Amino acid sequence: MKIVKLMMALTLGGLVSACASPDTATRNAPYSTNDQRIIKSVSPQPTTPALRVDHINVSVPQSLKVSERNMYYPGGDIVWREDPIGDRHAQVKKIFESAMAQGTAQLENGLVPVYLDVQVQRFHALTEKARYTTGGVHSITFRMRLRDAATGLALGEPRTVQADIEGFGGRQALQAEARGLTQKVRITNHLAEVIRQELTQPEGYEGANLGFMQAINKL
Topology, domain 50-217:
Rossmann fold (3.40.50)
Question: What pLDDT is attached to residue 7?
Answer: 55
In the chain, the amino acid numbered 47 is: T
- How does pLDDT run across 43-96, given as a tens digit for each residue? 344 444 589 999 999 999 999 999 999 999 899 999 999 999 999 999 999 999
Mean pLDDT of 160-181: 96
Round to whole Å and give the CA distance between 72 and 50. 43
State the DSSP string of 71-136: SSS--SSEE--SS-SS-HHHHHHHHHHHHHHHHHGGGTT-SEEEEEEEEEEEEE---HHHHTTT-E
Round to whole Å and give the CA distance between 152 and 9. 18
pTM: 0.76
At 18, the pLDDT band (50, 70, 90 cuts) reads very low
- How does pLDDT run across 86-133, given as a tens digit for each residue? 999 999 999 999 999 999 998 888 899 999 999 999 999 999 999 999
